[in-house]
């Protein structure tokens, strides 16, 4: 008779979308013993995407334990249970990818069935998901746990100290597009004369902020701004492709009026729904996903340090949204001047603090 396992999975998002994580565990169906636990952050995502992350992790843990096992998956997400059972369609692109991944893992196991349970009966997985969102990942297998005799039990270790990483977010200086408010995405425009002066002014402002690291978008206008500042600070510049501006596609170089005239319906949808891409380009949600990756790299590599991030309007607004725990549509409600400065502090306990927005005192 095939071994029977139970997977309990959950996921959550603080902001929906917001900082998200999943939790999953595998039990022996006969004894109820926990055989494996998983918890990890998925960056900025929705509840549903995080729940699918927990499902994938739980199925993979079961597969690692016994590929021949019969598995019952228990989740309090009606959506995921119905979709994986084949009764509802998976429409969201991010969830389609995760659902396919879960299906591929499930095909490598014995029989897999999905059961909805009330949230109160999914507390263990929910607790793991909250650990993930608190920045405390878990990867534990029962077989790897040492046997501890009662006499050998040591006092619990002191909790890890809270580490705060400060990010100063500097928008690049002006280009020829800036005064005319033209869509400026992936172009290679240099800084204008005014933009170079703004970068110099920003450099002197940054000199007093105790910056340890400079990270920038590799596009020409951000590269020139970052290198001007870094020269004053005596620091190298690290470039990150995920910090580039939104790809405006067919709108590139157009003013707002020109764009509405040439692409009336597309522009209306793009400007009101963060999930809709600019014609031939990206959506705000696309940019949000890659900015979340960049943010996670920065917070991991430079934990506890002060980082200058030189980027563009959309990525900086999305960093502010993450700091506020707000949705991506904040990009339509914040205005940032060229060479303006914003500041967000990120604590390892999951707390964030937006300390400065659109400051241009150094330009006066």
Catalytic residues: 172, 245
CA dihedral over 357, 311, 227, 302, signed as positive or negative: positive
State the sign of the Cα–Cα–Cα–Cα dihedral 118, 111, 85, 17.
positive
Sequence-distant (≥ 6) Cβ neighbours of residue 94 within 8 angstroms: 45, 46, 49
Overall size of the chain counted in residues: 364
Phi, psi of 121, deg, nearest 5:
-95, 5
Cα separation, 73 vs 112, in Å, equals 7
User: Parallel, antiparallel, or unpaired: how do β-strands 18-28 and 4-13 relate?
Assistant: antiparallel
Q: Measure the CA–CA gap between 230 and 146, rounded to whole angstroms.
A: 50
3-state helix vs strand vs coil in the chain, percent to 5: 40, 25, 35
What are the b/e assignments for 80-101, b being 16+ CB within 10 Å?
bbebbeeeeebebebbeebbeb
For residues 349 and 167, give the distance between their C-alpha atoms in angstroms, rounded to a whole number: 16
């Amino acid at each position: 008779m095939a071994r029977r396992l139970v997977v309990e999975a959950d996921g959550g998002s603080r902001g929906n979308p917001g900082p998200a994580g999943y939790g999953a565990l595998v039990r022996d169906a006969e004894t109820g013993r926990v055989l494996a636990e998983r918890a990890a952050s998925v960056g900025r995502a929705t509840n549903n995407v995080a729940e699918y992350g927990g499902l994938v992790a739980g199925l993979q843990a079961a597969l690692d334990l016994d590929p021949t096992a019969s598995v019952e998956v228990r989740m309090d997400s009606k959506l995921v249970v119905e979709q994986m059972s084949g009764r509802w369609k998976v429409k969201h692109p991010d969830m389609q990818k995760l659902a396919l991944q879960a299906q591929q893992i499930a095909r490598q196991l014995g029989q897999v069935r999905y059961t909805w349970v009330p949230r109160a009966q999914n507390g263990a997985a929910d607790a793991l998901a909250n650990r993930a969102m608190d920045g405390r990942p878990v990867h534990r297998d029962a077989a790897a746990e040492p046997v501890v005799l009662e006499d050998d039990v040591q006092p619990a270790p002191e909790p890890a100290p809270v580490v705060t990483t400060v990010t100063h977010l500097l928008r690049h200086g002006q280009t020829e597009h800036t005064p005319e408010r033209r869509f400026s995405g992936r172009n290679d425009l240099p800084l204008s004369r005014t933009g170079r002066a703004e970068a110099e002014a920003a450099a002197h402002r940054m000199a007093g902020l105790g910056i340890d690291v400079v990270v920038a978008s590799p596009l020409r206008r951000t590269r020139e701004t970052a290198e001007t500042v870094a020269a004053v600070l005596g620091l190298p510049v690290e470039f990150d492709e995920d910090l580039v501006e939104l790809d405006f596609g067919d709108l590139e170089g157009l003013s707002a009026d020109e764009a509405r005239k040439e692409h009336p319906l597309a522009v209306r949808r793009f400007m009101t729904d963060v999930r809709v891409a600019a014609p031939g380009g990206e959506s705000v949600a696309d940019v949000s996903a890659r900015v979340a990756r960049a943010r996670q790299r920065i917070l991991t590599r430079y934990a506890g340090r002060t980082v200058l991030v030189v980027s563009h309007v959309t990525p900086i607004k999305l960093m502010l949204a993450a700091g506020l725990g707000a949705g991506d549509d904040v990009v339509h409600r914040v205005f940032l001047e060229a060479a303006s400065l914003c500041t967000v502090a990120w604590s390892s306990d999951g707390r964030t603090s937006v300390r400065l927005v659109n400051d241009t005192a150094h330009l006066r």
